[in-house]
Amino acid sequence: MEWKETGFILGVRPYGETSALLESWTRDHGRAMGLVRGGLSRRWKGILQPGNRIVLNWRGRFSEQLGVFIVEADHLYASELMNCPLALLALNVMNELVHIIPERDPHPRLFDSYEHLLNAMSKGYVWLADLVRFELKVLSELGFGIDLTSCVATGDVDNLVYVSPRSGRAVSRSAGLPYSDRLLPLPPFLLDDTLVTNDIPLLLQGFKLAGFFLDRHVYSFRKIAPSCMREILIKRLILL
Amino acid sequence: MARAAIGSEIEKLIRLFSGLPGLGLRSARRVVLYLIKREEQLLRPLSRALEMVADSIKICSCCGNIDTTDPCCVCIDPKRDLSVICVVEDVSDLWALERARVMNSHYHVLGGVLSALDGISPHDLNIKRLIERACVPEVQEILLAVNSTVEGHTTAHYITDILGDCNVRVSRLAQGIPVGGELDYLDDGTLAAAINARTIF
């Protein structure tokens, strides 16, 4: 069996003394693993870095096999992000999130968001709101998406300012006011995908919201430690 | 039934050698045979040296280096510059810098780098001790000599942030074209880093 696709590097682990186990993220084949022969050599070190876009040629006798990758560099994002601490942390957070997605399970919409976010980070656009959206998209792709279309109590589509931690659905200002201390604030940029913001308090609200549901549906559920990179990123944002 | 050609002790030795980097079963057999043929010159001294190292090996409580004394010989060397601490990922990096004889400073071994996928957090690294050392008045500069990888840079940025309260200058290794490197064969990232970090000639 054989397939060829452009994808991103999520991580690389040594395999033996000279080869590397490459974890990649592709549009049509999802999270795919494979062996890169000679992947630990000096020649490949610069290319096999997380975040880099590469052309992957996978070969294996059966689709269930680990298989062997023949890789070729396409766009080396990693070196473009290395001088930006926030972007590097975000890249780690994104890779960690993609890592929890089952192997060989394609998620084209999530892949497009990943690519869009990486592009924005490398070009220096405003991207932090997109990172929050990406986190929520991961939850959605895993089947735990939150519903922000209308108020869970009244059905209103306007003035949605809270999210119910119990149902994961939006709550309008009027319906949520008496319970505001128990509800999660909903930042406006999550209601409109075209909105970009650098407003730190709003972004922190977004990270708090996504973090709550990530913790409930991913970290606590799977009994794994929450992402330390995410924690460092949020601490850095608070200090900005 | 196949008969054993060699004793279990030698077989065990071959298996142990085959686990070493660069050695497979076949090379391990060659090494063991070579050692056995040179019992007095190699086998016995090697056995004694291994036992001695195993008994006296220590991790330096100050810098994290591996030595037979604690503090290690680098930390107690009075000729070294006290004002600079060179932070490295692993003991092998410390040895590489020492081999090159380019640093006369003290070192600090982190014991790894932050890694999202491998689940290595700041608590798993020797960072707390680094902060204590950086806050000593004699220390003026922390040189981050971590590898130029995504994980290495993430760790470097994190350390730079947490050393913000200490009164030290934080520097890092230069990036660019290696000695003997040809532009045609370099990746885009290295070329971009080299252009950005260009100096007056």
A93 burial class (0-12, 13-18, 19+ CB within 10 angstroms)?
Answer: buried
DSSP code of residue B118 = T
Same domain, A63 and A106: no
Chain segment B6-20, per-residue pLDDT in tens: 889 999 999 999 999
Q: Enumerate the residues of chain A whose CB falls inside 8 A of the CB of residue B149.
A: 45, 49
Long-range pairs for A38-46: beta carbons < 8 A, 24 or more residues apart = A39/A12, A39/A15, A40/A14, A44/A20, A44/A71, A45/B149, A46/A76, A46/A79, A46/B187, A46/B189, A46/B190
Q: Is residue B122 pLDDT above 90, yes or no?
A: yes
What average pLDDT does the structure give for chain B? 91
Location of structure tokens 């497009």 = A112
Give residue B175's pLDDT. Answer: 85
Give residue B63's pLDDT. Answer: 94
- Among the listed residues A38, A34, A8, the one whose alpha carbon sits nearest the alpha carbon of residue A21: A34
Give residue A227's pLDDT. Answer: 87
What's the gap in Å between the CA of A60 and the closest CA on chain B? 25
Strand order in the sheet with A170-172: A170-172, A160-163, A184-185
Q: What's the CA gap between B31 and B24, in Å, rounded? A: 10
Same domain, A128 and A210: yes
Give residue A62's pLDDT. Answer: 87
Q: Enumerate the residues of chain A whose CB falls inside 8 A of the CB of residue B182.
A: none
Same domain, A9 and A111: no
Same domain, A204 and A116: yes
> Which pairing describes strands B169-172 and B141-144: parallel, antiparallel, or unpaired?
parallel
Taking CA atoms, B49 is separated from A221, B44, B126, in Å, by 51, 9, 29
- Taking an 8 Å cut-off on Cβ atoms, the answer to whether A227 and B116 are in contact is yes
- Taking an 8 Å cut-off on Cβ atoms, the answer to whether B150 and A73 are in contact is no
The stretch B108-132 carries a mean pLDDT of 93
What's the gap in Å between the CA of A89 and the closest CA on chain B? 7
The stretch B146-171 carries a mean pLDDT of 93
- Taking an 8 Å cut-off on Cβ atoms, the answer to whether A228 and B121 are in contact is yes
Chain segment A128-177, per-residue pLDDT in tens: 999 999 999 999 999 999 999 999 999 989 999 999 999 999 999 999 99
Q: Enumerate the residues of chain A whose CB falls inside 8 A of the CB of residue B151.
A: 50
**Tally of structural domains, chain A:** 2
Find the CATH number of the domain harbouring A44: 2.40.50.140
User: Cβ contacts of residue B10 below 8 Å, gap of 6+?
Assistant: B32, B36
Same domain, B118 and B149: yes
Give residue A22's pLDDT. Answer: 96
In a domain, B69, yes or no: no
Question: What ipTM was estimated for this complex?
Answer: 0.90
Q: Is residue B1 pLDDT above 60, yes or no?
A: no
In a domain, B1, yes or no: no
Same domain, A73 and A92: no
Q: Enumerate the residues of chain A whose CB falls inside 8 A of the CB of residue B157.
A: 85, 88-89
Which A-chain residues 83-112 have CB contacts (< 8 A) with chain B?
A: 83, 85, 88-89, 91-93, 95-96, 99
Lowest mean pLDDT among A70-74, A180-184, B93-97, B175-179: B175-179
Same domain, B158 and B79: yes
Same domain, A206 and A104: yes
Chain segment A106-122, per-residue pLDDT in tens: 999 999 999 999 999 99
The beta-carbon neighbor of B157 closest among A46, A73, A88 is A88
- Taking an 8 Å cut-off on Cβ atoms, the answer to whether A99 and B117 are in contact is yes
Q: Enumerate the residues of chain B whose CB falls inside 8 A of the CB of residue A99.
A: 116-117
Give residue B2's pLDDT. Answer: 61
Same domain, A222 and A195: yes
In a domain, B67, yes or no: no
Q: Is residue B4 pLDDT above 80, yes or no?
A: no
Chain B contact for A50 (CB, 8 A cutoff): yes
Q: What's the CA gap between B39 and B45, in Å, rounded? A: 9
Location of structure tokens 């004793």 = B7
Same domain, A138 and A23: no
In a domain, B68, yes or no: no
Q: Which residue has the higher pLDDT, A94 or B2?
A: A94
Q: What's the CA gap between A11 and B151, in Å, rounded? A: 10
- Taking an 8 Å cut-off on Cβ atoms, the answer to whether A228 and B117 are in contact is no
Q: Enumerate the residues of chain B whose CB falls inside 8 A of the CB of residue A13.
A: 118
- Taking an 8 Å cut-off on Cβ atoms, the answer to whether B150 and A228 are in contact is no
Find the CATH number of the domain harbouring B140: 3.40.1360.10
Location of structure tokens 């991790």 = B59
Size of interface A-B (CB pairs under 8 A): 79
Same domain, A225 and A199: yes
**Tally of structural domains, chain B:** 2
A103: phi then psi, degrees, rounded to nearest 5: -70, 150
Chain segment A19-58, per-residue pLDDT in tens: 999 999 999 999 999 999 999 988 888 889 999 999 999 9
Same domain, A30 and A143: no
Q: What residues make up the domain containing B98?
A: 75-200
Same domain, A110 and A20: no
Q: What's the CA gap between A154 and A162, in Å, rounded? A: 13
3-state secondary structure of A61: coil
What's the gap in Å between the CA of B150 and the closest CA on chain A? 7
- Taking an 8 Å cut-off on Cβ atoms, the answer to whether B157 and A95 are in contact is no
Q: Which residue has the higher pLDDT, A231 or B181?
A: A231
In a domain, A43, yes or no: yes
Give residue A107's pLDDT. Answer: 96
- Taking an 8 Å cut-off on Cβ atoms, the answer to whether B189 and A76 are in contact is yes
In a domain, B65, yes or no: no
In a domain, B3, yes or no: no
- Residue A20 in tokens: 């590397």
Spatial contact of A105 and A25, defined as CB atoms under 8 Å apart: no
In a domain, B90, yes or no: yes
Same domain, A123 and A195: yes
Q: What residues make up the domain containing A194?
A: 81-148+186-239
Number of neighbouring beta carbons within 10 Å of residue A89: 27
Spatial contact of B153 and B116, defined as CB atoms under 8 Å apart: no
The stretch B148-177 carries a mean pLDDT of 92
- Residue B66 in tokens: 């591996």
Same domain, B165 and B136: yes
Give residue A129's pLDDT. Answer: 95
What's the gap in Å between the CA of A23 and the closest CA on chain B? 10
Give residue B118's pLDDT. Answer: 87
